[in-house]
Amino acid sequence: MYENHRLGLLYISPYIIGLLLFTAFPFLSSLIISFTNYDLINPPEYVGLDNYRYMMDDDTFYQSMGVTFAYVFLTIPLKLAFALFIAFVLNFKLRGIKFFRTAYYIPSILGSSVAIAVLWRAIFSLDGLLNNFLGIFGVEAISWLGEPVFAMFSVTLLRVWQFGSAMVIFLAALQSVPQSQYEAALIDGASKWQMFTKITVPLITPVIFFNFIMQTTQAFQEFTAPYVITGGGPAKSTYLFSLYIYETAFKYFDLGYGSALAWVLFLAVAVFTAISFKSSKYWVFYSGDKGGK
Amino acid sequence: MMNKVFPNKAALSADLKNNPMLRAEIRKQRVGATIRYIILLFFGLVMLYPLFWMFSAAFKPNHEIFSSLSLWPKEFSLDGFINGWNTGTEYTFGRFFLNTLYYVVPKVILTVISSVIVAYGFARFEIPFKKFWFVTLVATILLPTSVLLIPQYLMFREMGMLDSYLPLYLPMAFATQGFFVFMLIQFLRGLPTDMEEAAQIDGCNSYQLLWYIVVPMLKPAIISVALFQFMWSVNDFLGPLIYISSVEKYPIALALKLSIDVTEGTQWNEILAMASIAIVPSIVVFLIAQNYFVEGISSGGVKG
């Protein structure tokens, strides 16, 4: 709107300074640190690719990477499917829709806090709420946090529990699907399911994609829940990558290796995101396209 | 717009009495609505039960917490709150509450000010390499923060800011959370510029435009930004974990982690009482301002 270039630069200058100082500089520094051994006490020592070579034989690295991908692939489809399902149920002339929307949204406001992680521990501990509930049906106490598979399940469930924000975005998208489309389909004798899969889903693919990208970026970085609920255990079954980075750098003060791990995570997420964006050409339809490119 | 199969309700009810097909359709819709209510109630209860249970457990004596599923304490006890509030440390939980505010408040204020200024620049000015800057903005949203963590820690260490709240809020003065800038830009682009043009003709400079015209119009979006930043900052755990080391400076997040480590799952009533207190501010803020959350999230799209 305004032609004054210098004034525009002035307005975004805080952003540029912040970008250089708190993003670009640390981003490149961590790459440099990853080629060193640094323990905060002795000066950093250049070791070339040693940290990366070490990583190739590091069982914890593979374990942690595997667990992280498992976590992402478990939570994201479940969370998005559930969010879409509830949004679909809510998208109707119902009394009290606002009430339900609020109720479903609250967990995603609170979910990432330590308080909720603590609550999760109370629910899934051996003498916890869930085992008490199952006890009513004569089910013997299950060690939810003591068995690798169950521990992963408990941590996963906490993320799925926070589906509310994705749901609200879906709901807004569903409400903007033009009614004329449904009416036309109805006249053609389409069933409810056909309407959903052939009209609703294609029209909201941009929103599905948006939710997918935002949710995966966050899931790759999950830290609080496994750290507080399981501490990464048992047998590193919930040792997500951000825990490994944190402990390497801030518990064992191996900042060089920690940086190398962080860069590998960054590359993994970057590749994953790039693939997602590439694939979006084939399944995301922006209004104006006639069925993809 | 709701899911409305029949566009004309009035004509529908007139036809209703003598059209069995339509009556069947109405009945079908009623059944459909009932099924929807049942689904919503069922999942709503399953989802919120843990929260209600936590609040009730806070009022139960320790031995009762896991012995019944009831939400109503058989034996009403405030021990959890009293002992939990006093904590195992020399500080009360109130101290940890205040500590949390010491960085959450500056964080919210700095985020709002810097993000509004930068978003205004992006949305209303021609800027050299604007596309490039905008791409970096989106890229920072997707960048995993763990790749920045170690060098940032070293920077703040160099500046002598460890064990203070500065590392937690100082970066916010530079619009470092691209997400909020992005959200405000989207909002600003949707606003008409004729008011600004008129004021410009009347001799307003760009600062006056920003302050007297843009900020008032942006108000709902600004409130959304402030609310989301408040929630995320209160919930943030990794930041304080890395930068805050002395117990006297602990925020709620670290204090809760400490209390569960110290008691190792024996004093659940204390832990759950403090966890309940910890989430009350967020719940109250959310219930008061929920429309801003819903609008913020559905216009800009928000993580959570």
Please tell me if residue B297 touches chain A, with a CB cutoff of 8 Å. yes
Residue A1 has pLDDT above 60, yes or no: no
> Are A115 and B304 in contact (CB < 8 Å)?
no
Task: Find the CB nearest B193 among A1, A17, A215.
Answer: A1
Closest residue of B to A125, CA-based? B265
Contacts of B70 (CB under 8 A, 6+ apart): B56
Taking only Cα atoms into account, the Rg of chain B, rounded to an integer number of angstroms, comes to 26
Burial class (CB in 10 A: 0-12, 13-18, 19+), B192: exposed
Q: What is the mean pLDDT of residues A262-269?
A: 95
Contacts of B264 (CB under 8 A, 6+ apart): none
DSSP-derived 3-state class of residue A46:
strand
Give the burial string for A100-123 (b: 16+ CB within 10 Å, else e): bbbbbbbbbbbbbbbbbbbbbbbb
In this prediction, residue A293 has a pLDDT band, given cuts at 50, 70 and 90, of very low
Closest residue of B to A177, CA-based? B1
Burial class (CB in 10 A: 0-12, 13-18, 19+), B172: buried
For B278, phi and psi rounded to 5 degrees? -65, -30
Closest residue of A to B33, CA-based? A94
Chain B residues with CB-CB distance to A114 below 8 A: 235, 237, 252-254, 256-257, 275, 278
Chain B residues with CB-CB distance to A40 below 8 A: 157
Taking only Cα atoms into account, the Rg of chain A, rounded to an integer number of angstroms, comes to 23
DSSP-derived 3-state class of residue B125:
strand
ipTM of the complex: 0.89
Please tell me if residue A260 touches chain B, with a CB cutoff of 8 Å. no
Tokens of A196: 């959903």
From A10's Cα to the closest Cα of chain B, the distance in A is 8
Closest residue of A to B1, CA-based? A175
Domains of chain A: 1-25 (no CATH), 34-283 (1.10.3720.10)
**Residue of B39, B112, B133, B146 to mutate for A, most A C-beta atoms under 10 A:** B146
What integer pLDDT is reported at residue A191 of this predicted model?
A: 83
Residue A45, strand partner residues: A37
Residue A46, strand partner residues: A36
DSSP letter, residue B63: G
Tokens of A157: 């469930």
Cα separations in angstroms, A209 against A170, A281, B238: 11, 11, 28
Closest residue of A to B243, CA-based? A250
Q: What is the mean pLDDT of residues A223-251?
A: 93
For residue A148, whether the previous peptide bond is cis, meaning omega lies within 30 degrees of 0, is no
Angle at B208 between CA B206 and CA B212, to 5 degrees: 125
* Total-model pTM: 0.88
Tally Cβ neighbours within 10 Å of residue B224.
26
What integer pLDDT is reported at residue B237 of this predicted model?
A: 95
For B61, phi and psi rounded to 5 degrees? -70, 155
Cα separations in angstroms, B286 against A119, A152, B229: 20, 30, 12
Task: Please write down the long-range contacts of B44-52, taking CB distance under 8 Å and 24 or more positions apart.
Answer: B44/A100, B44/A103, B44/A104, B47/A103, B47/A104, B47/A107, B47/A161, B48/A103, B48/A106, B48/A107, B50/A119, B50/A123, B50/A129, B51/A106, B51/A107, B51/A110, B51/A119
Q: Identify the CA nearest to A101 among candidates A167, A44, A46, A10.
A: A167
Range with top average pLDDT, A86-90, A189-193, A288-292 = A86-90
What integer pLDDT is reported at residue A184 of this predicted model?
A: 85
What percent of chain A clears pLDDT 70, i.e. is strictly above it? Answer: 96
> Are A112 and B235 in contact (CB < 8 Å)?
yes
Q: What residue spans of B59-190 are helical by DSSP H?
A: 79-86, 93-124, 130-142, 146-158, 166-169, 178-189
What's the CA gap between B102 and B112, in Å, rounded?
17
> Are A23 and B206 in contact (CB < 8 Å)?
no
Burial class (CB in 10 A: 0-12, 13-18, 19+), A239: buried
For A92, phi and psi rounded to 5 degrees? -165, 155
Angle at A201 between CA A198 and CA A203, to 5 degrees: 95
In this prediction, residue A291 has a pLDDT band, given cuts at 50, 70 and 90, of very low
Task: Tell me the CATH architecture of domain B84-299.
Answer: Orthogonal Bundle (1.10)
Average pLDDT, chain A: 89
Residues 143-162 of A with CB under 8 A from B: 161-162
> Are B3 and A182 in contact (CB < 8 Å)?
yes
What integer pLDDT is reported at residue A11 of this predicted model?
A: 92
Q: Identify the CA nearest to B175 among candidates B88, B112, B253, B252.
A: B112
DSSP letter, residue B76: -
Angle at B239 between CA B286 and CA A20, to 5 degrees: 105
**Displacement of CA B239 from its chain's centroid (Å):** 17
- Alpha-carbon dihedral angle through residues A65, A70, A72, A75, given to the nearest 10 degrees: -150
Burial class (CB in 10 A: 0-12, 13-18, 19+), B158: exposed
> Are A101 and B242 in contact (CB < 8 Å)?
no
Asked whether A141 and A131 are in contact (CB, 8 A), the reply is yes
**Displacement of CA B97 from its chain's centroid (Å):** 17
Per-residue pLDDT of chain B (304 residues; tens, 9 = 90+): 444 455 555 555 555 666 777 778 778 778 888 888 899 999 999 899 999 999 988 888 877 877 777 778 777 888 888 888 887 778 888 999 999 999 999 999 999 999 999 999 999 888 889 899 999 999 999 999 999 999 999 999 999 999 999 999 999 999 999 999 998 998 888 888 888 888 888 888 888 888 988 999 888 889 989 999 999 999 999 999 999 999 999 999 999 998 888 776 678 888 889 999 999 999 999 888 888 877 776 665 443 3
Please tell me if residue A17 touches chain B, with a CB cutoff of 8 Å. yes
What integer pLDDT is reported at residue B1 of this predicted model?
A: 40
From B299's Cα to the closest Cα of chain A, the distance in A is 8
> Are B36 and A94 in contact (CB < 8 Å)?
yes
Angle between helices A255-283 and A25-33 (to 10 degrees): 120
What region does A95 belong to: left with phi over 0, alpha with psi -120 to 50, or beta? beta
What integer pLDDT is reported at residue A292 of this predicted model?
A: 37
The domain locations on chain B are 9-58, 84-299
What's the CA gap between A258 and B264, in Å, rounded?
29
What would the DSSP string read from start to end of B205-221? -HHHIIIIIIHHHHHHH
What integer pLDDT is reported at residue A289 of this predicted model?
A: 45
Tokens of B266: 């024996």
Q: What is the mean pLDDT of residues A27-38?
A: 95
DSSP letter, residue A37: E
What integer pLDDT is reported at residue B2 of this predicted model?
A: 44
Q: What is the mean pLDDT of residues A177-188?
A: 84
Please tell me if residue A25 touches chain B, with a CB cutoff of 8 Å. yes
> Are B69 and A183 in contact (CB < 8 Å)?
no
Which range among A3-12, A75-84, A238-247 shows the weakest confidence by mean pLDDT? Answer: A3-12
For A37, phi and psi rounded to 5 degrees? -105, 125
Q: What is the pLDDT of residues A125-143, one digit of tens each?
A: 888 888 888 888 888 888 8
